[in-house]
Amino acid sequence: MYYIGLVFEYLKNYMKTRLTYRADFWVEVISDLMTQATNLVFIFVVFGHTDSLGGWSEAEVIFVYGFFMVPYGLFSCFVNLWNFGDRYIVKGEMDRILTRPAYNLFQIFLENVDPPSLIGSLIGVVIMIASGGQLGLEFMWWHIPVMLLFSVSAMLIYSGVYITLTSVSFYSDSPTGIIPLLYNIQNYGRYPVTIYNRFIQVLLTWILPFAFVGVYPASLFLGRTEMFHMAWLTPVMGGVFLAIGVVSWNIGVKRYRGAGS
């Protein structure tokens, strides 16, 4: 209950700030919408030159992209670690975090919460409904609970990967590290993994498992039987990578010695 109360307190503070600077809020929302629109246009352009992509139709690829947006929106809202190195290590704000009783990583999540990112998740649901209707997919009673399970699991995969990489900041003074590179690599997960060569498939499945935030779980709803077994591994991968991330973070925090003078 203590942590739930903290969530509501931080969200209230966020809303107070945003109501003071409303223009910034809407600029962020519009910027996110334009980014997603650009990605969709790219898919349409690709299929303007081909009927299928690695055995996937245009509607299937768009469905995968829609699913990809759901956990990514959740992750961007609740696990925003983009400027951790610069703000908390270089500028010394980690010292302030460690003087408080709540778990330090949880505090950092709350301080950087970004509710407008959830609009991307809603758009992803709309895209899946539209493309699913085009494909003639039949709605089943289990779709909603499994969709929630896979979306949360995919968000945990994102979280685990980025927490692990962010923990490197405890060993380096670099403001951003390699996180910007990962933001580019993660985009490969919004397309069918079968269109890539074998090395990229292994990378996106077992090392940086971004295929589990898009194509693998989406394949279950698309009826792609060749990937059913991979889809059900999504919760397992979420738990494993989150555990790796938290362990890496805790080790890094123990190494942290403060900003000094």
| Span 158-182, pLDDT tens digits | 999 999 999 988 887 665 566 767 7
pLDDT in tens, 13-38: 887 777 677 777 777 778 877 877 88
Q: In this structure, what token pair is assigned to residue 95?
A: 């010292």
End-to-end CA distance of the chain: 37
State the DSSP code for 56: B
State the DSSP code for 139: P
> By percentage, how much of the chain surpasses pLDDT 90?
52
Mean pLDDT of the chain: 88
pLDDT in tens, 107-141: 999 999 888 889 889 999 999 999 999 999 998 99
Using only the alpha carbons of the chain, give its radius of gyration: 19
Per-residue confidence (pLDDT) for residue 125, from 0 to 100: 94
Residue that wins the pLDDT comparison between 141 and 259? 141
Is the pLDDT assigned to residue 49 strictly greater than 90? no
Please enumerate in sequence order all residues whose Cβ is within 8 A of that of 71, keeping only pairs 6 or more positions apart, or say none: 121, 150, 151, 152, 153, 154, 155, 157, 158, 213
State the number of CA atoms in the 13 A half-sphere of 65 facing the CB.
Answer: 22
Residue 176's CB: how many other CB atoms inside 10 A? 13
